Structure 1
């Protein structure tokens, strides 16, 4: 694992995206501050701290098709906004969901992440 203290906010967020796509929960969680919070935008708390964030992510990281494709990234100071298309294995079947992910990075770690979710698009074979 690269020491994150000397990474730019963009590099920290890229590191977490790489770990997410590698299904490496420990490496992904290491990009978050110990007291980080995750929100459904704008202010619905989803998880606070490593233990809750890990618990929330365990099932997702076990999904065989899990993969986030970065469509666009915007960086402004310590804030990184990723526009992604994420492949998932939903209860209804495999598909994808469009996400906006807003990350605040402090001292080389993600201190908060806020997510805006689009609608689920199931693969055609499952939708019929």
Structure 2
């Protein structure tokens, strides 16, 4: 897979492998990471890296791709994400919107659903 979808897939694969180096390689040095619609959570690859170092320590971390849509340089993923929350293992639905520029993720917006604890 190549183009914008390939970049986003490599990023998801690295996320699931908890490979911070491969994950950050998919992001532009000046990338912006937002909580949808406009809350800036991290600016630049280093801040994005810092956000994910602790998350990548979670033993059950996994993003399952439900569906993907690509229009030009924009990729929209629907995912089911498994995480280890303070209150226990759980899942949440996520919509991720990626803007690709020069072969890297330049901007990303994330809309998180409610947490559901797994029993």
**TM-score, normalising length from structure 1?**
0.91
Aligned length: 118
Match of 2:75, SS state, is strand
Q: 2:97, 2:113 → 1: CA distance?
A: 14
Q: 1:50, 1:73 → 2: CA distance?
A: 24
Task: State the partner residue of 2:36.
Answer: 41
Match of 1:119, SS state, is coil
Give, in angstroms, the shift of residue 95 of structure 1: 0.7
Structure 1: gaps of 5 or more residues: 1-6
- Superposed, 1:76-95 pairs within 5 Å as 76-95=71-90
Match of 2:109, SS state, is strand
Structure 2: gaps of 5 or more residues: none
Give, in angstroms, the shift of residue 51 of structure 1: 1.4
Give the root-mean-square deviation of aligned CA atoms. Answer: 0.6
- Superposed, 1:21-100 pairs within 5 Å as 21-100=16-95
Task: State the partner residue of 1:117.
Answer: 112
Q: 2:107, 2:51 → 1: CA distance?
A: 15
Q: 2:45, 2:112 → 1: CA distance?
A: 22
Give, in angstroms, the shift of residue 90 of structure 1: 0.4
Match of 2:116, SS state, is strand
Give, in angstroms, the shift of residue 15 of structure 1: 0.4
Task: State the partner residue of 1:14.
Answer: 9
Match of 1:54, SS state, is helix
Instruction: Kindly report structure 1 stretches of 4+ aligned residues shifted beyond 4 Å.
Output: none
